[in-house]
Structure 1
């Protein structure tokens, strides 16, 4: 999907010249290689745009485009710089390789989805979209260089303006880049003419000009977030910095330690207390100014964007302030080294790789902080979205301000907040750690799909299916501390069971992968085989009677039978469901039957061949209505686990299945109601506990 300008339309022998903005939807690798300013000829169909979109039409392209003109010289150079940075970044690990171009020039084409998700949930997603911070770093470097060269003030301003314009072309003019560019140009004009710099006036003028000439920005959340963050930094951050860095006397007014020192004629160190001449004590304890600014800027930005985030996503991100504070020292080195690598790469690729290596350390720190932040309790807090959520936020602020302004109330509020934080960060993990001690299996809440982890020893787990989402599967494995997967079982090649495979492979050793011998769904199976071959992971086919023992768990394959013919059911994909690998897992305290997505025909065939009795049942096919009463009765499970997505479109689990399970005396546990589920051993017996949503 890309924006474009429609210039000429040929329809049924007619030719019409136009000049209107459109949005293009197209398939094919060619489109990722095109650069701005190129003219193309395509065949397609025009459709009406979505209500409120400020484009004339949507163009649905059919077939491959024909290139009419090459890109302009400037865009060719910009494209070469971006490609050079991508090539140089190949020397880095995969997560850093994708983030560095995103951090430097906004190129997220190779961004690891897991890293992107971590950045978003940690309040760091602005790092993979070029913003004012990147532009300020480049402009600052240009000003520093011009000062070393001894250039006059006007020439310094010109050099900074050229650097910002060049950077904006290379990074492409996103809303945040346009906002920062116009503000930066206003600042360098003020610098070059010797006028005072008024950031708020520059921001106001920038917003008015951009909305006037690009009115679609008025509906852009990205633009709103950029403007709000900048306004917070301009208006709130200086005041908060001064309050944090300036001392207070007992009455609450601010005094500077230097003034107290001049009055009294003696040195006043931080942490000392000196007299103001009238007997009052002036404490000189304060944060260093650089530290106060480092704290005030991310706090002010986060406070300012919170109303927009509530409108946009209906959640709060308390961890964002801490995360931004921790990554701040790494942003400037990564940006400067990365931009230097982009400039050097077209003429000296080896030199670009040398610059990328230290940039990788800085980017690696950002990835580490994001990964740590999202695993903190309450990293994101659900909040009503839209106007009701915004109204509730205003009420909360209206209550909080008077409380925080009164010393006694503030002390009480901070005490309560401290106690709550202690309970969340210390007491809760001790009392209710996840997974529970003695866990035998975890059913991950992966949405509409299956993702199971069977205990295989400390830090190890046998994974049975990977769910539909790599991010959700990776997060679950991280939560339970599994970094070694001696065996991975993919019961059948449906997306809700195998698309999360990259999440299991991420930063983990996988010993071997077991797949069904029934090669239904050949296209998906071929994709899986190619992925495993690329990772040099052995692929085995399951056969009944195969047995493994890992730690406390013994796994035995029960189905499908190698001689079994394809069993079609009543719905699309039934043959693939019926070819599911079925695994019986036994522990010292009991057993569970992992039945994949078996439907009625395969359940009854399995029942004729082997004993299927187990203490716990992983309910087949997410509790669909395609269940054999004889099969469920023969299993005799006292607990039934159902992995299912909330509000799914399939009607899972079916009411008939839930009724049947209850009639058979089974307790029902569902991931859509309880989140992750764990089978644990307690006093020699098995129990099922939930993590809770």
Structure 2
């Protein structure tokens, strides 16, 4: 058995790690088994390859980034944070953080990398050596898995510490400004395109050349492309390299082999230099180099073999890339184009014109292959991704080539740049309009909720016979019906889990988000009304499969300044900071199966009913006193039997004794509580509590 066959099979198995466990290896192990069989591998060879899977997983685990002995995180010891001063080289230009304001940038010091949190976007540049002073800490894990983890994201990049830079003028000192030709070239290209066509049009053009990871695109533009399923158009990837190589090789097709090879190598190196060593860029360059070498040698290229060999080389060098979501999506989309697009095009050709069949097959194949990853990581399905990609496809190639040409002209013959302004501006405006139009369609991002890895693995196994027609035929026709049954089962189990009566409390930044769910719908109570809490609520809604909240109650005594953000989550938002929209005794917020009623006008005590299950909500001590008074007076608003009790603080001994008269086995507390007694559960200083409402 040739080594390359074993190598690519191992690479396929390595991709099984995308679910952060062994379950993800099952579907791709099946693909590797089928692919080896097609190559004529004997049974014992296939068994040997599968037996090597544990060794490969062990290799990945051992090679994942770990903090070195001199890493800045070692300065912390057992302390959560401490003042510190670090010096090193900036790895990029500072980028705006969005939530919370300020900027962030990576600092490479002698011991390791650290994320800098700057209070404002200072005029610093990639490659500069600086000394910074502030508070060093470990990146905190998220309060809830659906909120995403900055700690996990940084760990994948080999970053274990964060320095929050002080706001004083002398907190950042520039030590040296060494020459950085590549970064300067990227900066000049982006600045020229942004100046010519503005932040939106110019930003899109710069992203088509350099990739959105290094271009300051407006947040609204990024969101429109994401919701429409067009994010890949702005990310430096194989498509952009293919366009560049196609144009270069068209110019040099009559040249002898050596100059032609040098021309192709120069184009690939230039692409890598401009876009930077991102996983998707490195994969594209490796695939392009291997495919070009195979074609120049006169051999027939095997695209799947080229893809898997490239992936194997990347994972042997950087196993941490396996956990990068962009890398996973990129590889899955490429596999779809190689394994499914051709058969799908032939099937569609019976019902559509040839050009339409080819146009639909490519985005549909990529969407189907990335669907399990969408469900696993995001819990969303971009319903309009295929028609959106079909609509923008005629624009991308000329726009990408035009933007690349304009970027080159901007740094070589700047006076000629205005010649590109009108045609590029019109094409970019049309692309932006299409992205925004598709993003505005109903259910552009169908929020089905994040699925469990086991369900995603079973769903992928059921999908495989449909994605790989040859695999379905090889299994004698019973694989596709069985696959449909597996997909139906997983969807049924997932939807049943979403439809239950459930309560979730997320405690972070000293505030709480309470989400009550009933039959797939939800309502929200928030103790804080700031923009960061609203952004967290939006992420939780996506992960839980909530399209919009039935109603939202903001219990912050200060009226919200981010009303538009909250209005985007629900049509009915009551803000306690605005006395005209707060609930009074006798009033209630109610939708089918979800009801909130205040106990008194002078406290934040409420009764939340989820289905038939009432919960007593006491966010502060004043609400506890109000409840005790109501209980002593036998107030009719108090239900006789409670399903649960939630406190927004850790009770003292006397308070706990008084509260234990409540006839419920579930008592939840937000905040840190060192040793909760039996029957009580605490979220911790940053954490969550979740369970069935009844």
TM-score (norm 2): 0.52
Aligned partners of 1:651 and 1:113: how far apart in 2? Answer: 43
2:645 pairs with 1:619: yes
Point out where structure 1 has 5 or more consecutive residues left out of the alignment.
Answer: 8-17, 248-268, 272-286, 516-538, 562-580, 659-669, 678-687, 689-693
Aligned to 1:135: 241
Moved more, 193-202 or 313-322: 313-322
Pairing 1:64–2:64 present: no
- Equivalent positions of 1:2-21 (< 5 A) are none
Deviation at 1:489, TM superposition (A): 1.8
Describe how 1:439-478 pairs up with structure 2 within 5 A.
443-444=503-504, 446=506, 449-452=512-515, 463-465=525-527, 469-475=536-542
Give per-residue Cα distances to partners, 1:60-115, cap 9 Å, x unaligned: 697313152265354234124445777868559xxx99997899432487786998
Contact 1:179 1:206 survives alignment (8 Å): yes
Query: 2:447 is matched with which residue: 375, 382, 385?
Result: 375
When the two chains are superposed, the root-mean-square deviation of aligned CA atoms in Å is: 7.0
1:23 matched to 2:65? The reply is no
| Correspondences of 1:98-247 after superposition (within 5 Å) | 104-107=211-214, 130-140=236-246, 146=251, 164-185=268-289, 198=301, 217-221=318-322, 226=327, 233=334, 238=338
CA distance in 1, matches of 2:649, 2:638: 17
Equivalences for residues 290-305 of structure 1 within 5 A: none
Contact (CA 8 Å) 1:179, 1:207: kept in 2 or not?
yes
1:79 aligns with 2:102: no
Report how many aligned residue pairs link the two structures.
529
SS at 1:655 equivalent: coil
- Give CA-to-partner distance per residue, 1:354-387, whole Å, 9 cap, x none: 554333345447867997566347x6342399xx
- 2:543 is the counterpart of 1:489: no
Correspondent of 1:479 among 532, 543, 546: 546
Higher gyration radius (CA) = 1
Give the secondary structure class of the aligned counterpart of 2:620.
coil
Distance 2:489 2:158 in 1: 52
Q: Per the alignment, in what secondary structure is the counterpart of residue 673 of structure 1?
A: strand
Aligned residues of 1:132 and 1:180 also touching (Cα < 8 A): yes
**3-state SS, counterpart of residue 127 of structure 2:** coil
Q: Which residue of structure 2 aligns with residue 359 of structure 1? A: 431
Pair 1:21–1:198, CA change in 2 (3 A) = farther
Matches of 1:594 and 1:415, distance apart in 2: 49
In 1, the alpha carbon distance for the partners of 2:541 and 2:328 equals 34
Give secondary structure in 2 for the equivalent of 1:628: helix
Q: Give secondary structure in 2 for the equivalent of 1:619.
A: strand
| Higher relative contact order, chain-length normalized (CA < 8 Å, sep 6+) | 2
Distance in 2, matches of 1:412 and 1:499, equals 58
Q: How far does the alpha carbon of each residue in 1:567-625 deviate from its partner, in whole angstroms, 9 at most, with x for none?
A: xxxxxxxxxxxxxx3346799x99967634224x6512553489664225762326855
Distance 1:479 1:640, change over 3 A: farther
**Contact kept? 2:129, 2:177, Cα under 8 Å:** yes
Which residue does the alignment assign to 1:521? none
Q: Identify if the C-alpha distance between structure 1 residues 207 and 490 changes in structure 2 by more than 3 Å, giving closer, same or farther.
A: same
Aligned-partner Cα distance in 2 for 1:641–1:159: 70
In structure 2, the residue matched to 1:628 is: 655
CA 1:403 to 1:339, structure 2 compared with 1: closer, same or farther past 3 Å? closer
Distance change >3 Å, CA 320–CA 331, structure 1 → 2: farther
Gap change, CA 1:240 and 1:620, over 3 Å in 2: closer
CA distance in 2, matches of 1:435, 1:393: 23
The partner residue of 2:390 within 329, 332, 336 is 329
Alpha-carbon separation, structure 2, partners of 1:435 and 1:53: 35
Listed one character per residue, the Cα deviations across residues 408-439 of structure 1 (whole Å, up to 9, x for unaligned) are x754443344356557769997xx69768xx9
Please say if residues 23 and 57 of structure 1, whose CA atoms lie closer than 8 Å, have aligned partners that are also in contact.
yes
Please give the alpha-carbon distance, in whole angstroms, between the structure 1 residues aligned to 2:625 and 2:584: 18
Show structure 2 runs of 5+ residues with no match.
Answer: 1-71, 73-85, 92-107, 139-150, 166-170, 682-687
SS in 2 for 1:620: strand
Distance 1:134 1:555 in 2: 56
Aligned partner of 1:603 among 624, 631, 634:
624
Question: 2: distance between equivalents of 1:109 and 1:595?
Answer: 44
Matches of 2:522 and 2:382, distance apart in 1: 34
> Following TM superposition, by how much is the alpha carbon of 1:475 offset from its aligned partner in structure 2, in angstroms?
3.0
State whether residues 524 and 549 of structure 2, in contact with CA within 8 Å, keep that contact through their aligned partners in structure 1: no
Q: Which residue of 2 aligns with 1:663?
A: none
**Conserved? CA contact 2:186–2:274, under 8 Å:** yes
